[in-house]
């Protein structure tokens, strides 16, 4: 299992998504900020569910958009970086989380 496979993005608890005709808006309640997402970013955001790994998100994007894998991985990584800088998404490395017991 690769290190990347274990990364799981989750929206910050105080961030809400509002879908628009084209794209979406994220509302960060704690900071009172809006962030506009294009349609592709909105699709990816909806996969940030705290269960789906980065690799699975990339695979879904490849299947959904018929995109090349290297483009999809770059897009997801860049989006995670931008949204992480805005503190609207958290990424957990599930390889470092130990099961109880």
Domain spans of the chain?
Answer: 4-86
Q: How many CB atoms lie within 10 A of CB 48?
A: 25
Q: What is the pLDDT of residues 49-74, one digit of tens each?
A: 999 999 999 999 999 999 999 999 99
How far apart CA 20 and CA 53 sit, in angstroms, is 26
For domain 4-86, give the fold: Outer Surface Protein A; domain 3 (3.90.930)
Determine what percent of the chain is predicted with pLDDT higher than 70.
Answer: 90
Statement: the pTM of the whole predicted model exceeds 0.75? yes
Q: Quickly state the pLDDT bin for 94 (edges 50, 70, 90).
A: confident
């Amino acid at each position: 299992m690769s290190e990347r496979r274990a990364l799981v993005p989750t929206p910050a608890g105080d961030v809400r998504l509002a879908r628009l005709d084209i794209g979406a808006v994220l509302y960060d309640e704690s900071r009172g900020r809006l962030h506009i997402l294009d349609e592709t970013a909105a699709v990816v955001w909806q996969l940030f569910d705290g269960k789906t790994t980065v690799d699975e998100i990339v695979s879904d994007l490849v299947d959904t958009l018929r995109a090349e894998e290297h483009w999809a991985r770059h897009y997801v990584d860049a989006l995670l970086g931008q949204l992480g800088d805005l503190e609207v998404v958290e990424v957990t490395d599930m390889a470092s989380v130990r099961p109880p017991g």
